[in-house]
Structure formats: C-alpha cells, structure tokens
A and B are shown apart, each in its own frame.
Chain A
Amino acid sequence: MFSIRGVRRTTTVVAAATLMLGLAGTRAWAQAAAEPADPNPGALTITGNFDFLNQYMFRGIRQNSTGMAMWPSFDLGIAAYSGEGGLKSVGINIGTWNSLHTGDTGQDGPSGKLWYESDFYATLGLGFGGGFALGTTYTAYTSPNNGFTTVKEIMFKLGVDDSAQLGKFSMKPYAIFAFEFGSEEGTGQADGGLEAGKYLELGIAPGYTGYSRAAIAVPIKLGMSLGDYYELAGEDNKFGYFSIGGIVTVPLGPTGKFGAWNLHFGGEYQMLGDTTKALNGDEGNQFIGSVGFGFSY
C-alpha cells in the first residue's frame, strides 16, 4: 500500500483506503453468495496491514539504503456520530504505524535493532455532504532504534470521496497541509534541518472497483515545502517529490466472522527534488515495490 501511503505517515488514509478498497472489492463476493451477516455492526472498526517493501521513502525522503522494510500497522476507528444534516459524520481514529528494517537503518545498522520507526497518531475526521471530508491528525513519529529524533506534527487533510457520483470509478482528490512543531535545530524534523517545516501535498487516487476479483488504484501525488520542509545547506527547496503508482487489492474471500482480508501489491515511481535527491545518494529517481496483506473488521 506504499503508493497510497506515499509513504508512511498518511496512515489513516491508507487504513481508510484499504478498508474502502476491501469493502468495494468484497461486494462481488458478497453478491455471489448469500449476503453474510455483518460481523461487526457496532461503532468500532479495526483495520490492520502488514507490508513488505524494497525501499522506504517518507514524503520523498529516503529512510533506508539497504535491506527490506516491513510495515505493520493497526488502526481503531470510532464512528462517534452520523446524521443527515450538513455534518454527516464524526469519526475518531487512533493507531500505530511501524517500520521494521533489515538494512542499514535497522538490523544491519549501528543499533543492530530492527524497529526503525513507531508512529502514534490520533485523527478527528468530519464528513460532509458530497463526500467532502476534513481530517485533523496529530502524529508522533518516534524511532525505537534511535534512527531519528521524535517528530511531532499536526496535519489537516481535505478530501473528496466521489465514488458515489462516479460509480465504479473514483478520483478522490485531496490536499494535505502538515506542520512540524516542538522541534529544535537539527532535531524533531523530517529533514533534520534547522527549522520546523510546513508541508503541502496535493494528490488524487483514481480507482476502479468494477472487476469482480480486484480493485485497482493509481495514486498520484505532489509533495512540496511551504516552508523549511526540504532544507538543504540552508536553502529550502519547494519541490520535494512527484509520485505515481499502481495498487491492486485482491479480497481474500467474502467478509466473514473474521472480517474482510485482502492481498495487495503495487509499484511506485518517485521523481525527487534537489533536497530529496541529495538525501537519496544523488539519485533523482526511485522505484518502490511492495506486497502485503490487510484486514478490516
């Protein structure tokens, strides 16, 4: 799911997307057989993923040079409110997202420890008419093996789920604005720079759920610095990266008492800006492949 994640820290997006893809992809299964009873009609939703990747890029910033990255994640969603007025829904998500590295920033690195990153996040999501949604997320990015100093961030995401209007197609445009806080010079920042950064991401995630056995998405995104997010030698470079990818999500059977499970895989290409290129060993292009499984309940 890396190409939606774009990489790691838009965890809620991934969880929600996985859930939606999973549910969408499951529909054909469900229609083929008798409609199964909902195993979880309550207000809490659990999602989880475990992915394997050859490379971990966080918003274009390289996190490992060798070995493999593994991403176990878990999300608890609480549907706090749903109604028919202007405000259609209020949801709360809390979760953890982790990156385990076998290479130079993990087991083969100075610490000798696998657990490179552990993120905790909490999101308040508001759903409006027309599929508009606004999410506010606090995230603490920590490194159990001291691969980096803790980064604290507030992120706002405005998105539109247009699948209700487009049927089996969707575009799902979104914009993310994130800012780091509580940092000091050289610490508490994704780029390890001098000042806390402000980040903007614009993206779409065109998808198609018309196939009976799989859902396809082609996420495209552009990551930019609004201020000090991609610092390099005292200069802030506006362009961080451009990314395009493809994800196939295959449901592993119908939704049952164990929830809905899926297998997903994909590829992603990233074109890097000056700062991210420098941090990538002066290589301006990066290809990422991933495979994993997920569930929602």
Chain B
Amino acid sequence: MGGSGRARWVAAAACVVSGLLMGTSAAQTVGDPNPGAISLSGSMDASNAYLFRGLPQDDTGLILWPAADLSVALRSGGGTLRSVTVSLGTWNSLHTGVTGTDGPSGKLWYESDFSASVGLGFGGGVTFATAYTSYTSPNGAFATVKELSLKVGARVHGVSPYALVAFELEGQADGGVVEGRYLELGAAPSVGLAGATVSIPVKLGISLEGYYEGLEGDERFGFFSVGGNITVPLTSEQSRFGRWNAHGGADYVRLGDANALRLGDNTKVIISAGVGFSY
C-alpha cells in the first residue's frame, strides 16, 4: 500500500471527491449519467509486491487489490466550506504467495480493510479529511489494526501536496510493543498527455512514535518512494456505465533499517497495473 495499490485507490477515491467538490457544474452537464449525490469508484490492480507504508507484506506470487468506495456529497456549493463528503470503502489484498494460498492458511484473502471518512473541501482547493480504518486479515495472517488518520491536502499547480497523520488505536502494523503514530508527506505532480494522465507520486513515511519498531527501538525513517503512473481513459465522460480507465505504473521504494531488515533488502521496485472506474 505504501507502494502503490492503496495509494492509487485513494487517488481514485480522491478523484470522485474532487468531482463532488466541483459537482455543481458536473451535474449540469447534459447526459451526465449520475447527477445525484452518491458516487461510486472501484478498481482492481495486480502487483508483484505489497509494502504497507514501507512494511513488507509479501513479494512472492501474484497480488491482487480489489477496492470500492462509496461517497455521499452532503454539501456542495460556494463559500468558505465548499463541500462535505462522507465516504465508506473497502480495500482488499489477495495473495497467491506465502501469505496467501501458498502459506499456512492456504487462503487467498490476506487483507480486508474497511474505512469511513469525512472530507471537507475549502476554497483554493484545500481539503481536510478524517478517516477511521479497520485493517483485518481474513486468512488470519495478522491481528486487526484500527487507525484514525487526518489528512490535509491542496491543489497547487497540479502538484497536490499532502500531509497525513495516523494514530493506531488498537493493534499495530509493525507488530511492535506500542501503538504507533505515523506521518506521511507526499505529492503527486500530474500532467495530461495525449488524453492520458501521467503522475509522479513522491512520498516519505516517518514514525512519530512507535510506528517502525525494530531491534534498536523505534526508527524515524520508514520509507521514501517515488513512482510513475499513467492512467488512460477507456470511456467518455458521458458513458452511462461511468468513467473507466486502465492504469499502470512503478514505484521505487527505499526503506529504513527496520523495514529493510524485515524485507531482507533496503530497496524494492513495485510494479502494478489494473482497471478502475468512477460513477
């Protein structure tokens, strides 16, 4: 997730939210298949490896990431507070490798996350979102982690910088001694190119306390990643089946010592591709 899958899903969901933020004009478009207040997005991606915020999960076999998100635009308009959006979503990771069908459980379904979030949109493209996420493992590979996160983002010349702070309420992603606090700083510069969208997501994952616990205690630096993604639309914006796209990309991840020890290497290249839609 730290690599690509979840980030891409979040990006897709963000696109829907962005659409909702600008919903008034979109709703007035003739032929809009969904001018109401509820939006849906989904994606299915395949990848060679899965790192969650730099924490290695699996890099054997094939990894599949089905995800869906339902968003409700409670408010949309002018003023300082431009929009209020509530979203419910699920993100899943299916593994054919050692943490999935080839592992002790013999079961494919490694991870199932449920999330609920409230997003606020302000003037100038500034957004603020609060999310509760429950990370569960249907095949029993890890204990449930419950988390509260806050995210502030902005649209600045197509760069979309953001900062995210997450607090573990119960359970731990690193399997350590104490619940952790996590900070992520990132940006995703993007540009349109011959009908496609090319983006270069960059992110830095840091432990504020107890998030990357290792042999020498808590390590601040969790990971740094830079990637390249391309998204190609498969349908017109007026399609009654929603907007579909094919996307693919690669992320280079540099890990901190604690995560490198878990992986057995301090770098990883994650390649993924999939299809997505928003409606």
Contacts and interface: CB of A to CB of B under 8 A. Distances in A.
B101 interface: no
Given A37-B35, A41-B33, A142 B242 contact: no
B112 interface: yes
A43 B36 contact: no
B182 interface: no
A131 interface: no
A46 interface: yes
B37 A258 contact: yes
B43 to A, nearest CB: 13
B138 A42 contact: no
B212 interface: no
Nearest to B23: A257
Contacts of B68: 76
Given A44-B241, A44-B279, A144-B138, A39 B70 contact: no
Do most interface residues of chain B lie in helix, strand or loop, or is the interface mixed? loop
Contact of B36 (A74, A76, A115, A257): A257
A142 B34 contact: no
Interface of A: 37, 39-44, 46, 74, 76, 78, 115, 118, 142, 144, 146, 256-259, 297
A42 B37 contact: no
Contact of B240 (A43, A256, A258, A297): A43
Nearest to B66: A120
Contacts of B40: 44, 46, 76
B109 interface: yes
A39 B241 contact: no
Contacts of B72: 258
Interface in B91-124: 109, 112
A40 B35 CA distance: 6
Contacts of B241: 42-44, 78
Interface string B232-246: 000000001110000
Interface of B: 33-38, 40, 68, 70, 72, 109, 112, 136, 138, 140, 240-242, 279
A49 B38 CA distance: 16
Contact of A44 (B34, B112, B136): B34
Given A44-B241, A44-B242, A118-B138, A39 B35 contact: yes
B36 A258 contact: yes
Contacts of A44: 33-34, 40, 240-242, 279
Given A78-B241, A257-B36, 20 more contacts: A39-B34, A40-B38, A42-B240, A42-B241, A42-B242, A43-B33, A43-B240, A44-B33, A44-B40, A44-B241, A46-B40, A46-B70, A74-B70, A118-B112, A142-B138, A144-B112, A144-B136, A146-B140, A257-B38, A259-B38
A144 B140 CA distance: 9
A42 B238 CA distance: 9
A94 B279 CA distance: 15
B34 A42 contact: yes
A39 B109 CA distance: 35
B165 to A, nearest CB: 28
A107 B242 CA distance: 39
B242 A46 contact: no
A16 to B, nearest CB: 18
Nearest to B31: A41
Nearest to B136: A144
Given A46-B70, A78-B241, A142-B109, A40 B34 contact: yes
A40 B34 CA distance: 5
B16 to A, nearest CB: 13
10 contacts: A39-B36, A41-B34, A43-B241, A44-B33, A44-B40, A46-B70, A115-B136, A118-B112, A144-B136, A259-B38
Residue in A41, A78, A118, A259 whose Cβ sees the most chain B Cβ within 10 Å: A41
B37 A257 contact: yes
B36 A297 contact: yes
Contacts of A37: 35
A50 B240 CA distance: 28
B244 to A, nearest CB: 11
Contacts of A40: 33-36, 38
Nearest to A295: B38
Contacts of A39: 34-38
